[in-house]
């Protein structure tokens, strides 16, 4: 169970990190370029520790790089939310708000994990993710409660990503506590949306399957890009 959990969280962090890194040199302003890549870096560090631990526990001799670069699409168990395309800046911030609120709640629980490595990674991550969340919340408020156009775009972004949040709270044997995270997440997200003068979307269509390796269309292109160098030039070194 611990292997599966480390893999899920490691994949979430890796894929979200990759998406954020795609903003590098393309963000709307220099400060935000640095912010997004710094958040990506924190997540990449978390991914390395989590995938490293998953490989260790799995006992098949795979290290963090093998897990990141040599698994196929169907073997990744990240949630669908983190793989969604960057879209405009509002979509990226909405994704960050929705995911980091969930990640923060999850890490707070995992600090008490029986696995010492997972507990230690979660303990570190809580401090980092709280800052990521705060950053995304500020932008959500600034854009939501901003101009007519920024409000419209922020609402569209939240509406577009909302369906992918239901998956986060599906409890199963690997994450029995997932459903219990929902009330805390609801309260935190609702507070930000209210301050941002945004409407909470109605729950409806809610795609799922990421935790079982069933991904959305954009994911194949993401891992093709992410894994290309390692697969084309095996054993390449700096």
Partner 1 sequence: MDRAERVRALVADVPDPEIPALTIEDLGILSAVREDGDTLVVEITPTYSGCPALEAIREDVERRLRDHGHTGVEVRTVLAPAWTTDRITERGRRRLAETGIAPPPPPHEHPTGVPCPQCGEPDTELLSRFAATPCQALRRCGACREPFAHLRAHR
Choose which of 45, 87, 184, 213 interacts with partner 1 (CB under 8 A).
45
According to the binding rule CB under 8 A, does residue 19 interact with partner 1?
A: no
How many of the other CB atoms lie within 10 Å of CB of 19?
23
Of 27-35, 61-69, 80-88, 218-226, the window that binds partner 1 (rule: CB under 8 A) is 27-35
Residue 50 vs 157, nearer CB to partner 1: 50
46 in contact with partner 1 (CB under 8 A): yes
Chain residues 109-128 in contact with partner 1, contact rule CB under 8 A = 116-117, 119-121, 123-125, 127-128
One of 24, 28, 34, 176 touching partner 1 (CB under 8 A): 34
> Interface with partner 1 includes 27 (CB under 8 A)?
no
Give the footprint of partner 1 on this chain (CB under 8 A).
31, 34-35, 38-39, 41-46, 48-49, 116-117, 119-121, 123-125, 127-128, 131, 135
């Amino acid at each position: 169970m611990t292997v599966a959990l480390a893999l899920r969280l490691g994949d979430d962090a890796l894929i979200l990190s990759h998406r954020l890194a795609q903003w590098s040199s393309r963000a709307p302003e220099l400060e935000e370029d640095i912010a997004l890549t710094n958040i990506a870096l924190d997540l990449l560090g978390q991914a390395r520790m989590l995938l490293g631990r998953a490989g260790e526990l799995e006992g098949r001799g795979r290290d963090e790089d093998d897990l990141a670069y040599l698994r196929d699409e169907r073997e990744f168990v990240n949630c669908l939310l983190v793989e969604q395309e960057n879209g405009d800046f509002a979509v990226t911030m909405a994704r960050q708000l929705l995911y980091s609120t969930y990640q923060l709640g999850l890490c707070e629980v995992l600090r008490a994990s029986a696995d010492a490595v997972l507990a230690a990674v979660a303990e570190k991550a809580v401090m980092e993710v709280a800052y990521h969340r705060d950053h995304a919340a500020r932008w959500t408020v600034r854009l939501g409660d901003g101009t007519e156009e920024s409000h419209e775009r922020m609402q569209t972004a939240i509406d577009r990503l909302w369906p992918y949040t239901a998956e986060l709270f599906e409890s199963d044997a690997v994450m029995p506590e997932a459903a219990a995270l929902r009330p805390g997440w609801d309260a935190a997200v609702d507070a930000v949306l209210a301050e941002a003068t945004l409407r909470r979307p109605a729950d409806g269509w809610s795609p799922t399957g990421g935790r079982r390796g069933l991904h959305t269309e954009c994911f194949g292109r993401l891992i093709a890009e992410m894994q290309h160098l390692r697969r084309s030039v095996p054993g390449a070194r700096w």
